[in-house]
Structure 1
Amino acid sequence: MVVFAAVLVFQLAGSERQAAERRVAHSARMLAASFEQEMAGSIRTLQALAESDALARGDLEAFLAECVRVRGTQPSWKVVLLIAPDGQSLLNTGVPWGARPPPLAERESFMRVIQTHEPTVGRIATGKGSAGALAFPIRVPVMRDGSLRYVLTAVITPESLVQVVASQGSSGEEWTRSLVDQGGLMAARTRDPARFVGKPAPRSFLEKTRLSNEDVYADVSLDGTEVYVAFSRSPAWGWTASVVNPRRLLDAPLADSMLAVGGLGLALLLVSASGAWVFSRRIERSIAHASAAAAALSRGELPQKAPSSVRELARLGEALEHSGRLLREREAERDAHLAVSEAARAEAVAATRAKDAFLAMLGHELRNPLAPIVTSMDLLRARGLARTPEHEVITRQLQHVVRLVDDLLDVSRITRGHLELRREPVELSSVVTRALEAVAPLIQQRRHVLEADVSPGAWLLADPDRLTQVVANLLTNAAKYTPPGGHLLVRARDVEGGFSLVVEDDGPGLPPDILPRIFEPFVQGPRTVDRSEGGLGLGLALVRSLVEAHGGQVEAHDKGPGQGCTFTVWLPGHLRVERPSSIPGEAPREASPAREFMAGNRFGVLVVDDNVDAAELLTDLLEMNGYEVRMAHDCEEALNRLEVFLPQLVLLDIGLPGVDGYGVAERIRRRLGDASPVFAALTGFGQAEDRARSHAAGFLQHFVKPLNIDDLLAFVESLRTRQKGAA
Structure 2
Amino acid sequence: MSSPAPSLPLRWHLVRLVAGTLLPVVVFAAIVVFQLARLERRGAERRVLRSARSLATAFEREMSGSIRTLQALAESEHLDHGELEAFHTEGGRVSRTQPSWKQVMLLSTDGRILLNTNHPWGAPLPSLAEQESFARVLETLQPTVGGMTEGRGKQRALAFPIRVPVMRDGELRYVLTAVVTPDSLTDIVANPSNESEEWTRTLVDPRGRVVARTRAPARFVGQPSTPSFHESTRASLEGVYADVSMDGAPVYVAFSRTQPSDWTAAVVSPRRLLDAPVADSMLAVGGLGLALLLASTGGALLFSRRIERSIIQASDAAAALAQGNPPHMEPSGVRELTQLGEALERSGQLLRERERERDANLAAAETARAEAVEATKAKDVFLAMLGHELRNPLAPIVTSMEVLRRRGLAQTPEHEVISRQLQHVVRLVDDLLDMARLARGQLSLHREPLELSSVITRAVEAAAPLIERRRHVLETDVSTSSLPVLGDADRLTQVVANLLTNAAKYTPPGGHLRLQAGEHDGGIGLVVEDDGQGLARELIPRLFEPFIQGPRTLDRSEGGLGLGLALVRSLVEEHGGRVEAHSDGPGHGSRFTVWLPRHTQAEAPRPQEERQAPVPSGAAEVSGKRVRVLVVDDNVDAAEALAELLDMSGYEVAVAHDCPQALHQADTFRPEVALLDIGLPEVDGYGVAERIRERLGGASPVFAALTGFSQDGDRARSQAAGFRHHFVKPIDIEELISFVESLSPARDGAA
The sequence identity of aligned pairs, in percent, is: 69
Distance in 1 (alpha carbons) for counterparts of 2:622 and 2:715: 36
Match of 2:427 among 398, 403, 406: 403
Tell me the alpha carbon deviations over residues 297-350 of structure 1, each in whole angstroms, 9 at most, x when there is no partner. Answer: xxxxxxxxxxxxxxxxxxxxxxxxxxxxxxx99996565233311221122222
SS at match of 2:621: helix
Asked if structure 2 preserves the Cα contact closer than 8 Å seen for 1:462 and 1:575, the reply is no
What corresponds to 2:563 in structure 1? 538
Out of 403, 413, 420, the position equivalent to 2:437 is: 413
Structure 1, gaps ≥5 residues long: 1-327
Q: What does residue 648 of structure 1 align with?
A: 672
Residue equivalent to 2:369: 345
Deviations 1:343-366 (A, max 9, x none): 211222222222222211111100
Q: Contact conserved, 2:518 with 2:525, CA < 8 A, in 1?
A: yes
**Superposition deviation, residue 438 in structure 1:** 1.4
Opposite residue 626 of structure 2, the aligned amino acid is R
Is 2:360 aligned against 1:336? yes
Structure 2 letter corresponding to 1:541: A
Tell me, yes or no, if structure 1 residue 660 matches structure 2 residue 684: yes
How far apart are residue 548 of structure 1 and its match?
0.8
Using the alignment, how far apart are the partners of 2:517 and 2:546 within structure 1?
A: 26
Question: Which one of 353, 364, 384 corresponds to residue 360 of structure 1?
Answer: 384
Match for 1:375 among 394, 399, 413?
Answer: 399
Question: 1:107 maps to what in 2?
Answer: none
Return the offset for 1:471.
Answer: 0.7
Q: Structure 2: which amino acid aligns with 1:698?
A: G
| Equivalent in 680, 690, 706 of residue 682 of structure 1 | 706
2:620/2:627 contact within 8 Å kept: no
Query: Alignment partner for residue 576 of structure 2, among 551, 569, 575?
Result: 551
Aligned twin of 2:641: 617
Distance 1:596 1:364 in 2: 30
Matched, 1:428 2:478: no
Amino acid at match of 2:665: R
Change beyond 3 A, Cα 1:449–1:588: closer
Provide the secondary structure at the position in 1 that maps to 2:446.
coil
Closer, same or farther in 2 for the Cα pair 1:488/1:588, shift >3 Å? closer
What is the distance in 2 between the residues matched to 1:688 and 1:554?
A: 26
Please show how residues 243-642 of structure 1 align to structure 2 within 5 Å.
Answer: 335-457=359-481, 458-495=483-520, 497-574=522-599, 577-579=602-604, 585-586=609-610, 592=616, 594-595=618-619, 597=621, 599-642=623-666
Counterpart for residue 746 of structure 2: 722
Instruction: Give the SS at the match of 1:411.
Output: helix
- How far the C-alpha of 1:641 sits from its partner, in A, is 0.6
Output the TM-score relative to the length of structure 2: 0.51
CA-to-partner distance for each residue in 1:545-590, whole Å, 9 max, x for gaps? Answer: 111111111110113332211001111013751327x758448979
Alpha-carbon deviations, 1:106-138, whole Å to 9, x = none?
Answer: xxxxxxxxxxxxxxxxxxxxxxxxxxxxxxxxx
RMSD over aligned CA atoms reads 2.7
Match of 1:670 in 2: 694
Letter paired with 2:690: E
Once the two structures are superposed, residues 170-219 of structure 1 have per-residue CA deviations (whole angstroms, 9 ceiling, x without a partner) of xxxxxxxxxxxxxxxxxxxxxxxxxxxxxxxxxxxxxxxxxxxxxxxxxx
Assess, with a 3 A threshold, how the Cα gap between structure 1 residues 720 and 518 changes in structure 2: closer, same or farther.
same
Q: How big is the shift at 1:530?
A: 2.1
Matched length: 401
Q: Does 1:702 align with 2:738?
A: no
Q: Measured at CA, do residues 596 and 693 of structure 1 come closer, stay the same or move farther in structure 2, by a change above 3 Å? A: closer
Q: Which moved more, 1:647-656 or 1:447-456?
A: 447-456
Q: CA deviation at 1:494?
A: 4.5
Work out the CA distance in 1 between the residues paired with 2:693 and 2:565: 46
Q: Which moved more, 1:568-577 or 1:635-644?
A: 568-577
* Structure-2 separation of matches of 1:593 and 1:370: 24
1:385 is displaced (CA, Å) by 1.2
* CA distance, structure 1, for counterparts of residue 545 and residue 356 of structure 2: 40
Q: Distance in 2 between matches of 1:584 and 1:437?
A: 12
* In structure 1, distance between residues paired with 2:526 and 2:749: 44
TM-score (norm: length of structure 1): 0.52
Q: Deviations over 1:364-421 (max 9, x none)?
A: 1000000011111111111211111001111111111111111000001001111011
Give SS of 2:747's match: helix
CA contact (8 A) 2:701 2:749 kept: no
Give secondary structure in 1 for the equivalent of 2:654: strand
Aligned with 1:461: secondary structure? strand
Deviation at 1:427, TM superposition (A): 2.9
Q: Deviations over 1:656-710 (max 9, x none)?
A: 0110111111111111112222111111110111111111111111111111111
Distance in 1, matches of 2:391 and 2:613, equals 30
Contact 1:607 1:650 in 2 (8 A): yes
Rounded Cα–Cα distance in structure 2 between residues aligned with 1:673 and 1:662: 16
User: Do the aligned partners of residues 453 and 724 (structure 1) sit closer, same or farther apart at CA in structure 2, a change above 3 Å counting?
Assistant: farther
Q: Deviations over 1:16-58 (max 9, x none)?
A: xxxxxxxxxxxxxxxxxxxxxxxxxxxxxxxxxxxxxxxxxxx
CA distance in 1, matches of 2:518, 2:719: 38
Q: Note if contact 1:683-1:703 (Cα within 8 Å) is conserved in structure 2.
A: yes
Q: CA deviation at 1:593?
A: 5.3
Letter aligned with residue 555 of structure 1: E
Go from structure 1 to structure 2 and tell me whether the alpha carbon gap of 1:329 and 1:373 turns closer, same or farther (over 3 Å shift). Answer: closer
Q: Cα distance 1:481–1:354, how it changes in 2: closer, same or farther (>3 A)? A: same
- Matched letter for residue 524 of structure 1: Q
State how far apart, in whole Å, the 2-side matches of 1:332 and 1:718 are. 71
Whether the aligned pair in 2 keeps the contact of 1:593 and 1:717 (CA below 8 Å) is no
Structure 1 partner of 2:270 = none
Residue in structure 2 matched with residue 195 of structure 1 by the alignment: none
CA contact (8 A) 1:455 1:494 kept: no
Aligned to 1:503, what secondary structure does the other structure show?
Answer: strand
Q: Deviations over 1:142-173 (max 9, x none)?
A: xxxxxxxxxxxxxxxxxxxxxxxxxxxxxxxx
Deviation at 1:431, TM superposition (A): 1.4
In structure 1, the residue matched to 2:13 is: none
Map of 1:187 onto structure 2: none
Answer with 1 or 2: which has the greater Rg.
1
Take 2:409 and 2:611, find their aligned partners in 1: how far apart are those partners? 31
Q: 1:16-165, aligned counterparts within 5 Å?
A: none
User: In 2 relative to 1, CA 576–474 (structure 1 residues): closer, same or farther, beyond 3 Å?
Assistant: farther
Looking at structure 1, the residues matched to 607 and 474 of structure 2 have their Cα atoms a distance apart, in angstroms, of 28
In the alignment, is the contact (CA less than 8 A) between 2:520 and 2:595 conserved in 1?
A: no
> CA deviation digits over 1:75-129, x for unaligned, max 9?
xxxxxxxxxxxxxxxxxxxxxxxxxxxxxxxxxxxxxxxxxxxxxxxxxxxxxxx
Q: How many Å apart are 1:603 and its aligned residue?
A: 1.6
Q: Offset at 1:619?
A: 0.8
Q: Does the 8 Å CA contact 1:559/1:566 hold for their aligned counterparts?
A: no
Output the CA distance in 2 between the equivalents of 1:425 and 1:715: 25
1:725/1:650 CA distance change after superposition, 3 Å: closer
Once residues 749 and 693 of structure 2 are traced to their aligned partners in structure 1, the CA distance between those partners, rounded to angstroms, is 24
CA 1:345–1:496: 2 relative to 1, 3 Å: closer
Note if contact 1:396-1:441 (Cα within 8 Å) is conserved in structure 2: no
1:657 aligned counterpart, secondary structure: coil
Q: Is contact 1:449–1:485 with CA below 8 Å preserved after alignment?
A: yes
